[in-house]
Chains A and B, each alone.
Chain A
Amino acid sequence: MRGAKSAKWVAGAAIIALAATACGGGDSDGDKGNKSSAKGAVNPDGFFSVEVGEPQNPLQPANTMESNGSIVTDAIFSQLVDYDASGKLEMINAESVETTDSKLWTVKLKKDWKFHDGTPVTAESYIKAWNWAANIKNNQTNASWFGDIKGYTDVHPEDAKAKPKSDTMSGLKKVDDYTFTIELNAPLPYFSYKLGYTVFSPLPESFYADPKAAGEKPVGNGAYKFVSWDHKKQIKVERNDDYKGADKAKNGGVIFKNYTTLETAYEDLKSGNVDVLRQIGPKDLPVYRSDLGDRAVDKAYSAIQTIAVAFYTDQWKNIDPKVIQGLSMGIDRDTITKTVLQGTREPATGWVAKGVLGFQPNATGDVTKYDPAKAKQLIKDGGGVPGNKISIQFNADGGHKEWVEAVCNSITQSTGVKCTGDSKADFQADTNARDDKQVKSLYRSGWVLDYPVNANFISDLFRTGAAGNQGDFSNKGLDAEIKKADSAASLDESVAAYQKIEKELVNYMPSIPLWYYKVNAGYSEKVQNVDYAQDGDPILTQIEVKK
Chain B
Amino acid sequence: MGRYVARRLLQMIPVFLGTTLLIFLMVYTLPGDPVRGLFGDKGADPATLEAMRHKLGLDQPILVQYWDYMKGMILHQDFGDQIASGRPVTDVLGDAFPVTLRLAGMAFVIEIILGIGLGMIAGLRAGRLADNAVLILTLLIISIPVFVLAHIVKSVFADQLGIISPNVSNEATWSELVTPAIVLGSLSLAYVARLTRTTMAENLRSDYMRTAVAKGLPKRRIIGVHLMRNSMIPVITFLGTDLGALMGGAVVTESVFNVKGVGGTIVESITRREGTTLVGLVTILVLVYLFMTLIVDLLYAVLDPRIRYA
* A interface residues, Cβ below 8 angstroms from B: 1, 54-58, 65-66, 136-137, 139-141, 143-144, 156-161, 212, 215, 230-234, 257-261, 264, 267-268, 271, 273, 397, 424-429, 431-433, 435, 445-447, 460, 466-470
Contacts and interface: CB of A to CB of B under 8 A. Distances in A.
A446 B260 contact: no
A426 B268 CA distance: 11
Contacts of B44: 141, 435, 467
Contact of A233 (B91, B170, B256): B170
Contact of B47 (A66, A159, A215, A426): A159
A431 B37 contact: yes
Nearest to B41: A1
B257 to A, nearest CB: 7
Given A139-B55, A144-B45, 19 more contacts: A1-B40, A56-B84, A136-B48, A139-B48, A141-B39, A159-B47, A160-B51, A260-B260, A264-B167, A264-B255, A267-B154, A267-B158, A267-B159, A428-B30, A428-B33, A428-B37, A428-B271, A428-B273, A431-B41
B38 interface: yes
B32 A429 contact: yes
B36 A435 contact: yes
Contact of B31 (A66, A397, A429): A429
Contacts of B308: none
Given A260-B258, A397-B271, A426 B165 contact: no
Contacts of A466: 43
A264 B257 CA distance: 7
Contacts of B43: 435, 466-470
B47 A432 contact: no
Interface residues of B, number: 51
B42 A468 contact: yes
Contacts of B34: 428
Nearest to B154: A267
Nearest to B169: A273
Contacts of A234: 170
Given A55-B85, A273-B165, A432-B33, A156 B47 contact: yes
A53 to B, nearest CB: 9
Interface in B123-166: 154, 158-159, 165-166
Chain A at the B interface: mostly helix, strand, loop or mixed? loop
B49 to A, nearest CB: 8
Contacts of A158: 46-47
A146 to B, nearest CB: 10
29 contacts: A56-B85, A65-B38, A65-B40, A136-B51, A137-B51, A160-B46, A160-B50, A161-B54, A212-B86, A231-B92, A233-B260, A257-B170, A260-B255, A261-B256, A261-B258, A264-B257, A267-B166, A273-B165, A426-B271, A427-B271, A428-B30, A428-B36, A429-B31, A432-B32, A432-B36, A435-B43, A467-B43, A467-B45, A468-B42
B86 A467 contact: no
B264 interface: yes
Interface string B246-259: 00000000111111
Contacts of B8: none
A159 B47 CA distance: 6
Contact of A261 (B30, B40, B255): B255
